[in-house]
Structure 1
Amino acid sequence: MDYSGEVTHSELLLVRGTQPFNAEPKAEALVQFELTPDELVYCRNHGPVEDLDPDTYTLSIEGTPSGTARYTLADMAVMFTKHEVVAALQCAGNRRKEMNELKKVNGILWDDGVICNAKWGGARLRDVLLHANVNLEGAAHVQFASHVTPCEDDKYYGVSIPLEKAMDVDGDVLLAWEMNDEYMSPDRGAPLRVVVPGYCGARWVKWVDSIRLSAVESPNYYQARDYRVLPPEIETKAQAAPVWSKYPSITSLALNSVVASATLRKGSDTNVLLLKGYASQHIDGKITTIEVSVDEGASWRPARISYQEGRWSWTLWEAEIAGVGEHGTAYSRATDETGNMQQRECKWNLRGVAYNPWGTRKW
């Protein structure tokens, strides 16, 4: 692949790979902001990142009465009402490094910074599809593709989401060109990216240039042979090859929480432990409670939720615990409105995705 046109990336990130560029911030830095600044947003790429010309960029939508409808960014800004949604974006491989400590996994060893929270702005996908008058008969999925550059495992990047999610007004799926009230940077997917609140980052296609409706999911590698939770008995790529289709594609990630920082303040009478962290919800329920423990889960105390916004944001939290020793381990767990509670352990899988045991941080 040709990296001669690669853009300059943030220097505030921990680099996990250079070609393609993959990097994440420290979780401790992330939780200082309700809306994540561009320079602290993780970078997950399968190919080069280039600065594309928004004036010439075109989105093609197949399956219209005329065959293919085409929209420029200028067209979309004028023709469609701009909608905004605050939503967390999280890589399915967040916390993979921890799972790798159980047993070796295949994939970038991400720590716990592969998540962000932002206000996204653009056109509703449903509005664009309805305007294009696409044929909905027999369709069950919306396939997205970006042909801007080749990828590591396929000629282009392609995934899909259920048509029901795409057409749901409350699903808030966007074709976005803004993040935090500014035109998106190339690293975020400019000129145009898909925003799928409640779904993992793999479905939020950057530099999207093609959309089509289909009765089946995208046949692309990144939908058909990746981003699926395989059972623990599948331990090698060879074992995985014939069974990918037997297991569902990841849509919404499981309930999760992370202890981003643990700061000890020593006192003459007692030590005080200050904890900060984030939590991310499953699409089925908003987070209602964060609890922390410093005794291996024998007892729990509530943390204070300091930020939530709307239906799709992350949750920021903090806690203060007095009377702790000079060293120890802090744990966190989240509970949502359906009663679902984050568990201490999570099963291993070959790709190291969707890892969500209790959050943990030593001090």
Structure 2
Amino acid sequence: MSEVDSYAREPTRRHDMTVNAPQPYNAEPPVEIIRSHYVTPTDYFYVRNHAPVPDINPHKYKFVVDGMVAKPREVSLHELKAKYTHHTVMCTLMCAGNRRTEMSNLKTVKGVGWGNAALSNAIWKGVRLCDVLEDVGAEMDNPHLHVDFYGGDPCVEENYKKGYGSSIPMSKAADPQGDVILAFEMNGEPLPRDHGFPVRVIVPGYIGARSVKWLKSITVKSDESESFFQRRDYKVFLPSVNWDNVNDWWDRTPSLAGLSVQAAITNPKLSEAIATGSSYTVSGYALSGGNRIVRVDISLDGGKSWQTARIFPGEEKGHDNRYWAWAFWDFHVDQFPSPCEIVCKALDIGNNGMPDDLAQIWNLRGVMNNSWHHVSVPAKSKY
């Protein structure tokens, strides 16, 4: 089958998504949609694909668990659901490339362009990865091991080899409080094809790239995945690293895992005019890799002076008081001073914040942009 024909059976999608790449399909929802729903409607959940979407028969589906385990085996969808206790976790997934377009506007980077909506929140149901690993006799107390996942998407690029792969350390995989699950439901329904049907990995607190879709294999190894997406992608380099010298940096730069503190403004949108002196509520989201967001700061003068926003109560907690879902915030202004530049930044309970200068964290892959978020607001007549 040709590469063009392989996209002939793609799922049906919404027409109001912002499509950043049509093949493979990569799209984010309108920012006002994600901010209007604490749990993102499934058909508005952002989509990050690296290849055509597989069409898998759930009755024939199995994944393999092998590697450094005592009892390697195949697991069917029926067995996964019937044998293991089901667990539910609310988790916000975010692409490491969220806000990449801002970086590229500063200096061109390589990768799919994303605005500030390459993230979404859902309720996932499945079985704990640690239960499956225990069942096959993995050395779950060995912190030096890694758990390697491969998905069933038919990657067409030659250097992807086995397809899409990624891995996480055993310390995360084996921790019951880490809430890593093999999910088969999303928001109370079977996973849609775009989101990994029939089974995907959900790794709360980590970049979305580690939550492998269309799970094909789980392998316990002594080193991280050899996949292109683990070894040659999703890494943060110094701003001085470029495509001429990056080969000196791939192997000595760690692969991305946990999320940084992130916050962004969803209302107003970019270039949205607000009448001078009018009443307006600035709003947005914030999250961290399992830590609670304790403060969101807002500036209406480009970062010269700051005030605190109201953080909504009800951020969903995982085990051990870990916050896998985002927080929403708003900041009401009685008399809006447009034109102006709004800036937001956040702080989590570990006192982790966001860098002020995008140039300091610019990297040629355009990942992990968590610099202060700026929105310039033009003025318009109040009448």
Q: State the shift of 1:102 in Å.
A: 1.2
Q: 1:321 to 1:151 in 2, by over 3 A?
A: farther
Matched residues, number: 358
Query: Retained in 1: the 8 A contact 2:203–2:211?
Result: yes
Distance in 2 between residues matched to 1:281 and 1:201, nearest whole Å:
13
Q: Does 1:327 align with 2:339?
A: yes
What TM-score, normalized by structure 1, do the two folds share? 0.94
SS at 1:62 equivalent: strand
Listed as ranges, the matches of 1:194-233 within 5 Å are 194-233=201-240
Structure 2: 5+ residue stretches without partners? 318-322, 378-383
Q: State the shift of 1:29 in Å.
A: 1.6
Counterpart selection for 2:168 from 136, 161, 176: 161
Q: Does 1:352 align with 2:366?
A: yes
1:75 alignment counterpart: 79
SS at 1:118 equivalent: strand
Q: State the shift of 1:36 in Å.
A: 0.5
Per-residue CA shift, 1:296-338, capped at 9, x if unaligned? 1222111111251112100111111122233222111101112
Q: What percentage of residue pairs aligned between the two structures are identical? A: 36
Q: 1:61 to 1:97 in 2, by over 3 A?
A: same
2:320 alignment counterpart: none
The one-letter amino acid paired with 1:149 is P
Q: State the shift of 1:9 in Å.
A: 2.1
1:254 alignment counterpart: 260
Query: Retained in 1: the 8 A contact 2:140–2:174?
Result: no
Q: Does 1:104 align with 2:108?
A: yes
The one-letter amino acid paired with 2:344 is S
Q: State the shift of 1:341 in Å.
A: 2.2
Q: State the shift of 1:151 in Å.
A: 4.4
SS at 2:149 equivalent: strand
Distance in 2 between residues matched to 1:154 and 1:242, nearest whole Å:
21
1:338 alignment counterpart: 350
Counterpart selection for 1:178 from 177, 180, 185: 185
2:284 alignment counterpart: 277
1:292 alignment counterpart: 298
Q: 1:97 to 1:110 in 2, by over 3 A?
A: same
The one-letter amino acid paired with 1:18 is P
Per-residue CA shift, 1:224-243, capped at 9, x if unaligned? 0000001111121x421342
Query: Retained in 1: the 8 A contact 2:180–2:204?
Result: yes
What TM-score, normalized by structure 2, do the two folds share? 0.89
Distance in 2 between residues matched to 1:151 and 1:353, nearest whole Å:
23
Q: 1:116 to 1:137 in 2, by over 3 A?
A: closer
After the TM superposition, which of the residue ranges 95-104 and 133-142 deviates more from structure 2? Answer: 133-142
Runs of 4+ in 1 over 6 A off after TM superposition: none
The one-letter amino acid paired with 1:94 is N
Query: Retained in 1: the 8 A contact 2:302–2:340?
Result: no
Query: Retained in 1: the 8 A contact 2:17–2:28?
Result: yes
Listed as ranges, the matches of 1:91-130 within 5 Å are 91-130=95-134
After the TM superposition, which of the residue ranges 325-334 and 214-223 deviates more from structure 2? Answer: 325-334
Distance in 2 between residues matched to 1:127 and 1:160, nearest whole Å:
17
Q: Does 1:146 align with 2:137?
A: no
Distance in 2 between residues matched to 1:53 and 1:317, nearest whole Å:
42
Query: Retained in 2: the 8 A contact 1:271–1:326?
Result: no
Query: Retained in 1: the 8 A contact 2:281–2:333?
Result: yes
Query: Retained in 1: the 8 A contact 2:54–2:152?
Result: no
The one-letter amino acid paired with 2:262 is N
